[in-house]
A and B are shown apart, each in its own frame.
Chain A
Amino acid sequence: MDRRQFIKTTVAGAGALAASSAATPLKAAEPAGDDKDLRVIQRTNAKNGDKVSLLGFGCMRWPMKKGDDGRDHIDQEIVNSLVDYAWNHGVNYYDTSPAYLQGQSEAALGEAISRYPRDSYYLATKLSNFGDASEKASLKMYRDSFVNLRTDYIDYYLLHSIGGGGYPMYKKRYEDNHMTEFLLKEREAGRIRNLGFSFHGPHDAFDEFMKLHDKYHWDFVQIEMNYLDWRHAKEPRNTNAEYLYEELEKRGIPMVIMEPLLGGRLAKMAEGPASKLQERDPSRSIASWAFRFVGSYPGVLCALSGMTNMEVLKENVQTFGDFKPLTEEEIEFLMEIAILLDSYPTVPCNDCKYCMPCPYGIDIPGIFLHYNEMVNTGQIATSREQKDYQKLRRRYLISYDRAVESLRQADHCIHCGTCISHCPQSIQIPRELQRVGDYVEKLRSGEL
């Protein structure tokens, strides 16, 4: 089934589903709470018949709060209520990693989800051996996941973020330590139901892993896909999602999608593209376009969203409960939005925090998020002669100090480069920090 066909059939199906809501076209604007019977739609994994919700819960962005020890801890109470709501509305795919949220994500998910029958949800976690890739440490990480998640099998297990550093890095992390061999055996034993990998990286590395498919038969692959990365991934260090999708579709490998919203960058964007989306359909949220984009492709089994609060979760449940795939024409429209988005000088940071902690204390995502926010809200000064120059300068400097402690600001980056290899988006972090730092310095000194 190609995409066109798929869209036709799902539109028909969704149309029937949506018939009841036809009288209320502003469905998305309805107050939450009237959605008790809403269930997010499911896709069937052709390989094993798993009925997976198209919306998956990404467990990388849960709310944190300061504990008595002065450290950040996951707010378990909120996590429980988020999981309750998600589970009750049919979200049955939960994706975590031993590396998320300073290592706290797995256990928090385990605590929340284990209150439900084990056969009512799918667990996905990863071998995140970025630091110590030895066999011993990797095995420990693997076994700890079972304990944290309170389970004796894992539905979807991933080699975490391969591609950066190409095949040699993959080999170091998964071949030299015999972990691939081990995980294949675990799959045979049934403790891993599906074995796959998540990918960020260049073209040729992906091709290498596709070659490995003949040997290992990946059950699924997790890729970064959204309407910006479809054709505007930062090549050559990253690969366009269009290519990845087609390669996987060709081989019939089910796809789990990460970053459908680009860490919120496709929900909160500059006024130009945002208003185009709103003009097109005032009742739909900006974020819903991004979710509908990935959901419109039949090879997508599940799209992950890192939902931090109830409002976002409810909105996403709406989008995926009353799912309407995009038309061909709407997809073309999004392709135009992507070109527009790509023209803004934002830093493609999705706030995943893989770069953290910076050994020299820099708040890397904080600096980028603040900068992006200012770019997107049109608050970047371009010249001293500008009408609003003083206002823009004051706003940038004050909000920068509010967003990032002065000792953690860009001018303290020493360009040691430790972070570069950690960034799944392949952002040249020191260079980008310097770009922001230079701008701030120009504002401070009044040179600009």
Chain B
Amino acid sequence: MLGAVVLLAITLLFLDFTGILHHWLGWLAKIQLLPAILALNLAVIVALVLITLLFGRVYCSVICPLGIFQDMVSWLSGLRNKRRARLRFTSSKEVKWLRYGVWVLFVAALVAGVSAFVSLLAPYSAYGRIVTNLFQPVYRWVNNLFALLSERAGSYAFYEKSVWLKSLPTFIVTAVTFVLLIVLAWKNGRTYCNTVCPVGTTLSFFSRFAMFRPVIDADKCKNCKLCERGCKASCIDISSHSIDYSRCVDCFNCLEECKFDALHYKFAWGRKKAQTIPAEEAADPGRRAFMTAGAMLAGSLALKAQEKKVDGGFAFIEDKKEPERSTVLVPFGAGSVKRFYDHCTACGLCISQCPNRVLRPSDKLENLMEPYMSFEAGYCRPECTVCSQVCPAGAILPITPEEKTQIHIGIATVDYDLCVVNTDGVSCGNCARHCPAGAIRMVPKEPDNPESLRIPSVDKEACIGCGACENLCPARPYSAIHVDGREVHTDNR
């Protein structure tokens, strides 16, 4: 029950676009293990380790959204044909080579900064992406339906939110993750958590020494195997009356199944831990598919270029295209590009919360699924600091709107060949009019003719890189002014 509430809360944390829920539920993202580690949030790390040492992997049952999500799928599967389906699990051996192999690779990737691999496997990140990429569109479509009705009724209760495909590769990876997890959970319960999940493995180092744990009373046990068949972690072995505490997620289903009062959750520190026998099972087929998902990534949607034309009284507005940036743009509060990607877990919370359609998941292999900024659909508005407030991993440190004006994340550059002053021979200056930093000056196109049309000139020292100029530039598909990121953000605070 608690798990279901937490899952709902975290899901809503990602879905909510009003900014209200974060105030109440934001801590749920900050107590996730990997974000806490990346944020060097020692209090959370120590607390989680202590909880695991005390009670076992309760984290996996009530804190980890991906774990709870799998429990829900497993529970639904159990409803099909109640008793038989509920007791569909079989005991299995620990698949050590896979489990620890993945863990070693994961830690190595984490240290080496191969973030795509880290974020692919991290459970909180995976769940965040599922919500952002799969649930959010549905949530917003439903919202937009209400918005439409609301508009018809002249009410302001609901308003439309745009739904857009932020990154095709990320969407594909997420969809594959989603389907695989459902299949695994539907059939075998917590397979992912006990063979792949690096967070689960990390916690298992502590949970095997847990003070409180479910213990089988061999004297009372009638070897009916109800507990074994009801264990979604497949960690009970009735033949030896042992439980593999490295895999047990403390769901307590076994306690409920036992008809003979032979199972108890109790203080059992120092007792001999479960015997495990080396595994000889083949690699999980799901995992292979999972790992190769990254290789399937292909280019993004090519937008058909169209000419400026009149339609229904409106000039046609061509979609903007993303410019080539010499350095990637990462949010205000990230400090530097390296620091940002070192800490990011690719959970996508910032992406789901960005109200200006600026943040989206990267398609680049080295930062796959991790956020970056671009200004085709909006710009980083001066009053907004949402991403910095929600980031649980410390990749974007909290800033205030006042501080935001003192941070420089990028530099705008003008491409005079694209500027409408030159191409259309009209006066413009929209970039200068909307620059919140006053970094753009309009100067005569012909230096010796002060009456000539004016073209923009950027004061690079003053430019903060918010992208207002790029977004509001009338040149299409490529803006005549674009922002390149700064490797290290200048911070004049």
Contacts A361-B315, A415-B428, A418-B426 hold; do A395 and B310 have CB atoms under 8 A apart?
Answer: no
Which residues does chain A contribute within 8 Å of B311, judged by CB atoms?
70-71
Contact string, A389-417, partner B, CB cutoff 8 A, digits 1/0?
Answer: 00000110011011000011001111111
Q: Are B156 and A416 in contact (CB under 8 A)?
A: no
User: Which of B159, B426, B434 lies in contact with A398, CB distance below 8 A?
Assistant: B159
Shortest Cβ gap from A206 to chain B (Å): 30
Q: Are B313 and A72 in contact (CB under 8 A)?
A: yes
Contact string, B419-439, partner A, CB cutoff 8 A, digits 1/0?
Answer: 010001011111001100000
Q: Are B426 and A357 in contact (CB under 8 A)?
A: no
Contacts A399-B156, A414-B426 hold; do A356 and B314 have CB atoms under 8 A apart?
Answer: yes
11 A-B pairs with C-beta separation under 8 A: A357-B310, A394-B156, A395-B156, A398-B156, A402-B160, A408-B317, A413-B430, A414-B426, A415-B430, A417-B426, A444-B383
A89 within 8 A of B: no
B257 within 8 A of A: no
Interface residues of B in 138-153 (CB under 8 A from A): 151
Contacts A407-B317, A408-B314, A445-B381 hold; do A414 and B428 have CB atoms under 8 A apart?
Answer: yes
Q: Are B312 and A414 in contact (CB under 8 A)?
A: no
Which residues does chain B contribute within 8 Å of A401, judged by CB atoms?
159-160
Q: Are B382 and A445 in contact (CB under 8 A)?
A: yes
Tell me the complex Cα distance, A36–B429, Å.
59
Which residues does chain A contribute within 8 Å of B159, judged by CB atoms?
398, 401-402
B265 within 8 A of A: no
Other A-B contacts than A357-B313, A398-B159, A412-B472, 12 sampled, CB-CB below 8 A, are A357-B314, A358-B315, A359-B308, A398-B156, A401-B159, A413-B430, A414-B474, A415-B427, A415-B428, A416-B426, A434-B433, A445-B383
A282 within 8 A of B: no
Interface residues of B in 260-311 (CB under 8 A from A): 308, 310-311
Contact string, A88-104, partner B, CB cutoff 8 A, digits 1/0?
Answer: 00000000000000100
Tell me the complex Cα distance, A161–B434, Å.
35
Chain B contacts to A: CB under 8 angstroms: 151, 156, 159-160, 308, 310-317, 381-383, 420, 424, 426-430, 433-434, 472, 474
User: Which of A70, A353, A399 lies in contact with B313, CB distance below 8 A?
Assistant: A353
Q: Are A415 and B429 in contact (CB under 8 A)?
A: yes
Inter-chain contact total with CB atoms closer than 8 Å: 77
Interface residues of A in 322-361 (CB under 8 A from B): 353, 356-361
Which residues does chain A contribute within 8 Å of B312, judged by CB atoms?
64, 66, 70-72, 102
A190 within 8 A of B: no
User: 7 shortest A-B CB distances, which residue pairs?
Assistant: A416-B426, A72-B312, A361-B317, A414-B428, A398-B159, A445-B383, A361-B315
Q: Are A361 and B316 in contact (CB under 8 A)?
A: yes
A219 within 8 A of B: no
Tell me the complex Cα distance, A402–B426, Å.
30
Which interface residue of A358, A361, A395 has the most chain B CB atoms within 10 A? A361
Which residues does chain B contribute within 8 Å of A408, judged by CB atoms?
314, 317
Q: Are B430 and A357 in contact (CB under 8 A)?
A: no
A363 within 8 A of B: yes
Q: Are A444 and B151 in contact (CB under 8 A)?
A: no
Shortest Cβ gap from B268 to chain A (Å): 56
Which interface residue of B312, B383, B474 has the most chain A CB atoms within 10 A? B312
Residue of B nearest to A411 (CB): B472
Shortest Cβ gap from A428 to chain B (Å): 14
A446 within 8 A of B: yes
Q: Are A412 and B430 in contact (CB under 8 A)?
A: yes
Which residues does chain B contribute within 8 Å of A399, judged by CB atoms?
156
Shortest Cβ gap from A53 to chain B (Å): 30
Q: Are A416 and B424 in contact (CB under 8 A)?
A: yes
Tell me the complex Cα distance, A445–B468, Å.
13
User: Which of B313, B317, B424 lies in contact with A102, CB distance below 8 A?
Assistant: B313
Which residues does chain A contribute within 8 Å of B434, judged by CB atoms?
411
Q: Are A416 and B428 in contact (CB under 8 A)?
A: yes
Tell me the complex Cα distance, A120–B216, Å.
103
Residue of A nearest to B434 (CB): A411
Tell me the complex Cα distance, A356–B312, Å.
10
Tell me the complex Cα distance, A99–B339, Å.
60
Tell me the complex Cα distance, A434–B433, Å.
10
Residue of A nearest to B310 (CB): A357
Which interface residue of A64, A399, A402 has the most chain B CB atoms within 10 A? A402
Q: Are A412 and B156 in contact (CB under 8 A)?
A: no
Which residues does chain B contribute within 8 Å of A407, judged by CB atoms?
317
Shortest Cβ gap from A352 to chain B (Å): 12
Tell me the complex Cα distance, A434–B472, Å.
14
Shortest Cβ gap from A377 to chain B (Å): 11
